Amino acid sequence: MALLATLTLLFAGLAAAQNTVTPTATIREQFSVQPSPGVLTPPFALLTQAAPLTRETKSSPPPSYCSPCLFYGGDIDLNQANANGLYNGNTASSAAVYVPFTVTKTWHVTGLFANIEYYPSTPVFGVGPFAADVQWSIWQGLPTAPVAVCSGIDFTPGLTFTGRIAFGFYGEYTTAVSATCALHAGTYWLSVVPECNSSDGCPLPFGEELSYLSDAEDGGPTMGAPEAFGALQPWDDSYFNAPDFGYSYAATWGLTGACGGFGCDRFSVGVVGK
């Protein structure tokens, strides 16, 4: 704990002194660019993942913030060897992660949410996050023939701390929006993208805000995270659109994907409705 506190103060002091932070495509890359290569090490153990079982749906109670819950992809497990986060926001940089979900009958969507790791955040630095609004969208046909089904902007999004500090410095917040959309059976992709940068007039004591979408790796391709609810989120079917980082609807998974083989097989998002 003393080491973590020391590193936190070092990181905060550097950020305040420079009044800037450097966005990277993945949260793991932050430990290579700030404050210098190799200085910060993610404070989690590398655990061996158990062999997955098989399931198609999850019937255990969903998290309280998914109500009435249609789908939840599960929590990030910071003790998982491949835990990661992928840039998602119009914040210090502009990027969006599109996450798949399966609809088995007609849904009347009333909300979407994503668990996002923010820098700065109140649990670590005493301030933040500062999302001024959140853009949301639901798509079909990714990645080759994307068609927008529904989209909007929520100017009063909900930001609720999950209790998790990701990688020692990033407070994870459930970022929730109101959304209205009727969906019929099929496969869709959703995005929940917070916006906060200097043009929004956001109060940013450490320069621009960083925001990373938490992944959800537990359970492997056939089981899913233990907290997941509803139809199993498709494995290895998310896409990353981030021109600032050189990606155009690129695969998030695998050695050649946006996350370089570290996680990003599933993500921590959900759908609310009936």
Is the pLDDT confidence value at 115 over 60?
A: yes
Percent of the chain with pLDDT over 90: 68
Sorting pLDDT into bands at 50, 70 and 90, what band is 41? very low
Q: Which residue has the higher pLDDT, 215 or 205?
A: 215
pLDDT single digits (tens) 118-146 = 999 999 999 899 888 999 999 999 999 99
Tokens of 42: 């993610």
Residue ranges per structural domain of the chain: 2-49+72-273
pLDDT single digits (tens) 227-253 = 999 999 999 999 999 999 999 999 999
- Please tell me the total number of residues recorded for the chain in this structure: 274
The model's pTM is: 0.84
Cis peptide bond prior to 234, omega within 30° of 0: no
- Interatomic CA distance for residues 63 and 114, integer angstroms: 12
Q: Which helix (H) or strand (E) holds 10?
A: helix 2-18
DSSP E strands: which ranges in the chain? 57-58, 69-72, 85-87, 89-90, 94-103, 107-119, 133-140, 147-154, 158-166, 170-183, 186-195, 210-214, 230-231, 239-242, 247-251, 269-273
